[in-house]
Each structure stands twice: as structure tokens, then as C-alpha cells.
Structure 1
Amino acid sequence: MRVVRYAEADLPAGPARQVAELEAAAWPGAEPGHDPALAPRALLLLTADGTVAASLALLFKEIRLAGRTYRAAGLSAVVTRSTLRGRGCGARLVAAARAELAADPAVDLALFSCDRPLAPFYEAAGFPVLPGTVLVGGTPGQPLATDAPGFDKVVVAAFFTDEPARDRAAFTGARVPLYPGNTDRLW
């Protein structure tokens, strides 16, 4: 298997169709694709015959917190083909995403939310939980927070700055104004 990367707008038709099918099976009724303002990139894990085994999207935006502006990335729509689950495909792809973000000088941190039961999966890939942190998504006029009633979310992050301990402390226990818009309300 191999990992391939595309700007979402440049994703070839065959893999794009497979990603849409995987996402529709995982999240019925959700609209495919991401807000172009978030510069979405698709990461795919392909089998030898070109089948999409797993996919995810990387989304990007600046976040202002604690008097600083951070260049943030988030993982979104992480999904593995149901017939290949339990074989490490998702773990391999998430680890590749972390490595790609860590090597990108335009990214200060990776920050996203996940369902609480998935936290150990993301922690194993190098995204520790930020205790007490809440992401506030949506828009300032229509916010959607990870601590909203009915959500059981945690926030995970990896810091790639010169002072990761300082920056982790700034984000720990904070309400982070993510505001990615109405398409990707929480990434």
C-alpha cells in the first residue's frame, strides 16, 4: 500500500468517487467535499490495484489564541474501507498525515476533535488529548462547540513550533475559536 496526496480540487475522478462512497457509508446524508477556503488536501492510502483503503482530508486556517496567531491544520473525514478495518490502514494514514504536517514549515500545529472512544487511536498516532480544551467551530454568529449538549468529543493536537510545551499549555483547557465556517463546522 502507498500514501498519495492531492489538493482536493485535483483529486482524480476514480479515487474521488471512491472517497465519496466511503464517506457516504460512514456519514450518510453528509455533503461530500470541504470548504475551498480551508485549502483542503486529500491523503489516500491505496492498495496495489489502486483501491482507496483509507482517506482523510487536511484542512488549514489561522487561529488567534493567547495573543498569537497560529497556522493550524486539522484532520477531517478520516475513514477506512469497512472490509479493511482492523488491519492498520487508518493508523498508517493518520501517522502519514502527522509526519506530513510536522515537516510543513507553514504549519504550527495540528488540532482537531474526535469522538471520545477514538482518542486512543489518535494518541497512538502522535496526537495527544488536550485536557479540558474545547474547539468552537461554525461561525461566530452560529458557533458549534465540542462541548455542546449531546457531543462526547475530545480535542487532540500535535505542536510543531519552536516552543511546543509553551504552546500546548496555551491550548490546554482553552476555548479555541476555530470558526472554520458552515461547511466544515468542526474538523
Structure 2
Amino acid sequence: MRIAIFAERETPVALRAQVLALQAQAWPPAADDPGAGGADGGDADGDWHDPALDPMAMLLLDDGDTVLASLDVLSKAITHGGRVYRARGLSRVVTDAAYRGRGHGRRLVAQAREEIRGSGADLGLFTCDRDLRGFYESAGWQLVPGAVLVGGTPDDPLPSDRFDKVTMAGFFSPAAQRHAGSFTGARIALHSGLIDRLW
């Protein structure tokens, strides 16, 4: 097995098609919206992320070119507690149902953490369903108790506490490590835009 990393729009067509199929498996399009695809119910031309978030695709492949698991990494500068941080987060994490329970998703999520750590980002920050907290912790991420990510825009916010979500993080730079406590119980202005409203 190997992990392949691409700028999202440079993902080879055959691999991208497999990724979209996995996303549709995990998040089936609504019956009245057959053009929807992926985790966000996006557009018919491939359900791309907002290019302003510098999306990166990470794929776990078998010894051939079969995608076993995939995720996307999004990037954005955020301001919190009067400080600016380079933040990166996970989106659309999915493992093929036929290969679940074998550690493939955990391996990919753990590698994503190391990629983010090595990228120069100050921190990794994202939300997940509450019942997936243990999965992400087993891959090295930590819970940020009481934290709420506020996505969307300042004029049209989408806070994560509207859903049964928890906030996970990795604090990598010295500045992020020093001020990690300021994220606990805080509302964190992610403001990721109107395409990827929350990650």
C-alpha cells in the first residue's frame, strides 16, 4: 500500500472518479438531487473544494491503483485570541466500506497529521461527529473540549454546535503550543467561506 498526495485539481481522473464514488457511498446524494455528490452535496462537475483553501487530496492506494481510503486537507489563516495562525484541517474522510475495520482510515488520518505538522502549519483543526472522536484520537489528534468552530462567513456563520460535532486539533508550532489552552471552550472563527462552510 502507498499514500499518494495531489493538489485536488491535479488528481488523476481515474483516481478522482474512485474518490467521488467513495464519497457517494458514504454520503449518498439526496433522491431529489441526483446531481449532488460528495460530502457536501456539491456540484455536478466534480464537487471541488474552494480553491482559496488550497485543497490537497490524500489517497491510500493498494498495490495497484485502487483507492481504499481518501481525505482532503484544507488550509486557511485564522485569527484567534488576537493571534494569526496557519490552520489546516481534514475534510471528507472516507474508507471504502469493503475495506473498513482494517486500520486503513486510521493510517491515512495519522499520515495527514504528520503532513500537516511538516507543512509549516501552526495547527491542525477540524470537526468530526461525536462518535468518531476515539477514531481520531487513536490517530494522534486531540479533543479541544468545548470548542466550537464557526464556519461560513462573518455575515452568514455556520457554528459547529448546530450539529453533534466535536473539535479535534493538533498544536504544532511553538506559538500554537503555548496558546493551546485558549482554544478550549472557545468559539473559533474559521470562516471558511460559502463552498466549504465547515470542516
- Shorter-chain TM-score: what band? over 0.9
Corresponding residue number in structure 2 for 1:146? 160
Could you tell me which of 45, 58, 61 is aligned with 2:73? 58
Corresponding residue number in structure 1 for 2:58? 43
Corresponding residue number in structure 2 for 1:77? 92
Which amino acid in 2 is paired with 1:11?
T
How many residues matched?
Answer: 184
Which amino acid in 2 is paired with 1:118?
L
Output one character per residue of 1:144-168: Cα deviation in whole Å (capped at 9) or x when no partner: 11111xx110000001111444221
Distance in 1, Cα, partners of 2:52 & 2:153: 14
Distance in 1, Cα, partners of 2:79 & 2:175: 17
Using the aligned pairs only, state the percent identity: 53
Which amino acid in 1 is paired with 2:112?
A
Corresponding residue number in structure 2 for 1:108? 122
**How far does residue 142 in structure 1 lie from its aligned partner after superposition?**
1.2
Distance in 1, Cα, partners of 2:194 & 2:26: 20
CA contact (8 A) 2:22 2:94 kept: yes
Q: Which is further off, 111-120 or 137-146?
A: 137-146
Which amino acid in 2 is paired with 1:17?
A
Distance in 2, Cα, partners of 1:121 & 1:167: 25
Q: Can you give the 5+ residue segments of structure 2 that lack an aligned partner in the other structure?
A: 30-40
Distance in 2, Cα, partners of 1:75 & 1:145: 17
**How far does residue 16 in structure 1 lie from its aligned partner after superposition?**
0.4
TM-score using structure 2 length: 0.90
Distance in 2, Cα, partners of 1:116 & 1:167: 24
Distance in 2, Cα, partners of 1:45 & 1:18: 12
TM-score using structure 1 length: 0.96
Q: Can you give the 5+ residue segments of structure 1 that lack an aligned partner in the other structure?
A: none
Query: What RMSD over aligned residues (CA atoms) do the two structures have, in Å?
Result: 0.9
Any runs of at least 4 consecutive aligned residues in structure 1 with deviations exceeding 6 A, and if so which?
A: none
Distance in 2, Cα, partners of 1:164 & 1:65: 10
Corresponding residue number in structure 2 for 1:136? 150
Corresponding residue number in structure 2 for 1:171? 183
DSSP-derived class of the 1:99 partner: helix
DSSP-derived class of the 2:143 partner: coil
Which amino acid in 1 is paired with 2:185?
G
Could you tell me which of 67, 74, 83 is aligned with 2:82? 67
